[in-house]
Amino acid sequence: MSAPTGDIGLIGLAVMGQNLILNMNDKGFNVVCYNRTTSKVDAFLANEAKGTKVQGSHSIQELCSKLKTPRKIILLVKAGPAVDDFIKQLEPYLEKGDIVIDGGNSHYPDSIRRTHELEAKGLLFVGSGVSGGEEGARHGPSLMPGGSPAAWPSIKEIFQKTAAQVNGEPCCDWVGETGAGHYVKMVHNGIEYGDMQLIAEAYDILHRGLGLPEDEIADIFYKWNTGVLDSFLIDITANILKFKDDDGEPLVSKILDQAGQKGTGKWTAINALDAGMPVTLIGEAVFARCLSAIKAERTRASKVISGPQKEAFRGDKQQFIDDLEQALYASKIISYTQGFMLMRETAKELKWNLNYAGIAQMWRGGCIIKSVFLGDITAAYQKNGQLESLLFDDFFNKAVHKAQPGWRRIIAQAVLWGIPTPAFSTALAFFDGYRSEIVPANILQAQRDYFGAHTFKVLPGKENPRLKAGEDIHVNWTGRGGNVSASSYSA
């Protein structure tokens, strides 16, 4: 048998897999492919991959025999049991140091488990986020690999050449240990939910509030796309708003206002609740989709619940539109601030060394949230890799201060109009809470101690013989009941 020539194997010939193979082939790598339904291998070689160096295989054994060692095999199959099933099938044909890469949409706890399971067998595992859809996979996705750090030197060249490039830098770097790659992909998707919701709210304010037609809103978005909001999502939204149905009506005006979701935004929100981190904007974005989904109930409600009398806008329209741009920008800064807070907290808990500048750079191009803005976040973390919050970075601190007046005016006007802005509003509420040294949690603590003897601590500077520093204090608020504090009550 001749010596193996394959640089990398790929299992799973759905659209993403096929496009990633063709992309890696274009970048000069010799790819060997396999699919459970092997007729797809033959069809792919005879059609899309015709004239390329891509090799096919009709069994796992054949796939492995065609790969140079250490073998690198990417799985792009349905997340869940199919991944574990293929890993089990691969194991007999792999040797120490070989690398199994899961490029599917796996939940990160599975990737943590798989890293440990494969490392225990002398193999290496990489769970990689892949973003950018079919187009990204074909011409340059954002790749977010994490897992066994020893795997990185062997896959670095293939991954970084296959990924999108922005200003000569690849949108791919090592993310961190075990499930870090899929974790960061999950947060990316959550942030994507937030960005999309913010744009939808801006559209609603311009459309229902200012009464602008789709064409004019598209032009506003195109203009925004030349400034701080320059991003893929603003650009495609402008294109969407310009798109006409056959009768000349904007197609968006005919789309049922009921959003679907596949669950990665929800995973991020659940993770934020579990971690105790206030990632409120992604949470609101998920809930906004939930509210949209109960269309029939909303329709019934719209008949019996009325909002404020709609007053015509009497202010300066251009000023309002500029304010809205700033409101969107400031809210986006908050959303990314929250997303990075969550990643920092998880990294601390799971002892991952997350590469924050690298993460922002990975999202800078190739993926759905790609934007100029992410270049500024990259710069912030390059200046300080352990930055506690984006709001402490000079650039973002100045930006949010500049945006603040317009941001408040927009939300105030939306409230008066009765137009819901859950994402804009939660961003501002977070901002006002975050910059408050004192929040009303004193009342919560007092209530908890009052009804459940949950105790409280004294505010520094207010100590006295009854209220001692550092102590868990219980007060008999009513003169009834006992002086014993509780440790097992609810709330």
Looking at beta carbons only, is 135 or 274 nearer to ligand 2AM? Answer: 135
Name the residue nearer to ligand 2AM (CB basis): 82 or 275: 82
Nearest CA among 358, 193, 214 for reference residue 286? 193
How many CA atoms are closer than 13 Å to the CA of 258, on its beta-carbon side?
Answer: 8
In whole angstroms, the minimum distance from the beta carbon of 447 to ligand 2AM comes to: 51
Residue 22, interface with ligand 2AM (CB under 6 A)? no
What do you get for the CA distance between the two ends of the chain, in Å? 69
55, 85, 87, 61: which is closest to 74 by C-alpha? 87
Closest CB 16 distance from ligand 2AM, rounded Å: 8
Interface with ligand 2AM, residue 40, by CB under 6 A: yes
Instruction: Evaluate the CA torsion angle 339, 340, 341, 342 in order and state its sign.
Output: positive
d(CA 135, CA 36): 24
Is residue 185 annotated as part of the catalytic site, yes or no? yes
- The CB-of-92 to ligand 2AM minimum distance in angstroms stands at 17
Binding site for substrate: residue ranges?
105, 131-133, 188-189, 193, 262, 289, 448, 454
Residue ranges for the known binding site for NADP(+) are 12-17, 35-37, 77-79, 105
CA angle in degrees (0–180, nearest 5) for 247-253-256: 120
Residues that contact ligand 2AM, how many (by CB under 6 A) = 11
Q: Which of 192, 201, 284, 325 is catalytic?
A: 192
Select the span of 31-39, 129-137, 232-240, 324-332 touching ligand 2AM (CB under 6 A).
31-39
Binding mask 305-324 for ligand 2AM (x = CB under 6 A): --------------------
In the list 27, 36, 113, 161, the residue contacting ligand 2AM (rule: CB under 6 A) is 36
Which of 43, 45, 82, 458 touches ligand 2AM (CB under 6 A)?
82
Is residue 19 within the footprint of ligand 2AM (CB under 6 A)?
A: no
CB of 23 to ligand 2AM, least distance (A): 17
Q: Residue 438's CB: how many other CB atoms inside 10 A?
A: 7
Exactly one of 2, 37, 167, 488 binds ligand 2AM (CB under 6 A); which one? 37
Q: Which of 40, 185, 266, 370 is catalytic?
A: 185
DSSP for 224-277?
HTTTTT-BHHHHHHHHHHH-B-TTSSBGGGGS-S-----SHHHHHHHHHHHHT-
User: Does residue number 78 form part of the binding site for ligand 2AM (CB under 6 A)?
Assistant: yes
Q: Does 210 bind ligand 2AM (CB under 6 A)?
A: no
Contacting ligand 2AM (CB under 6 A), which of 28, 59, 85, 295?
85
- Cα(426)–Cα(282) distance, rounded to whole angstroms? 10
The smaller minimum CB distance to ligand 2AM, of residues 37 and 436, is found at: 37
Only segment of 75-83, 235-243, 363-371, 477-485 that touches ligand 2AM (CB under 6 A):
75-83
Look at residues 101, 107, 211 and name the one whose alpha carbon lies nearest to residue 148.
101
Q: How far is the CB of 265 from ligand 2AM (least distance, A)?
A: 22
For the residues of 408-426, what is the DSSP string, one character each? HHHHHHHHHHT---HHHHH
Nearer to ligand 2AM, 35 or 154 (CB): 35
**Vertex 320 angle, CA 315 and 324, to 5°:** 155
Task: Please state at what angle helix 108-120 crosses helix 180-204, rounded to 10 degrees.
Answer: 170
Q: Does 12 bind ligand 2AM (CB under 6 A)?
A: yes
Distance CA 4, CA 66 (A): 5
Q: Is 254 a catalytic residue?
A: no
Q: Give CA–CA dist 151/145, Å, rounded.
A: 10
- Give the distance, in angstroms, between the CA of residue 66 and the centroid of all CA atoms in the same chain: 36
Does the footprint of ligand 2AM cover residue 47 (CB under 6 A)?
no
CA 88 to chain centre: 30
Any idea of the CA torsion for 307, 311, 312, 314, to the nearest 10 degrees? -130
35, 268, 361, 425: residue in contact with ligand 2AM (rule CB under 6 A)? 35
By CB under 6 A, residue 45 contacts ligand 2AM: no
Which tokens go with 277? 């981190």
Structure tokens at 308: 């404020």
User: Is 13 among the residues that bind ligand 2AM (CB under 6 A)?
Assistant: yes
Question: If residue 144 lies in a helix (H) or strand (E), which one and from where to where?
Answer: strand 142-147
Point out the annotated binding site.
12-17, 35-37, 77-79, 105, 131-133, 188-189, 193, 262, 289, 448, 454
Q: Which stretch binds ligand 2AM (CB under 6 A): 35-43, 325-333, 397-405, 441-449?
A: 35-43
Residue 77 in contact with ligand 2AM, rule: CB under 6 A: yes
Closest CA to 253 of 208, 295, 284, 222: 208
DSSP secondary structure of 144-177: EEEE-GGGHHHHHHHHHHHS-EETTEESB---EE
Candidates 10-18, 118-126, 221-229, 483-491: pick the segment binding ligand 2AM (CB under 6 A). Answer: 10-18
Q: Which residues bind ligand 2AM (CB under 6 A)?
A: 12-14, 35-37, 40, 77-78, 82, 85
Q: Which residues belong to the active site?
A: 185, 192
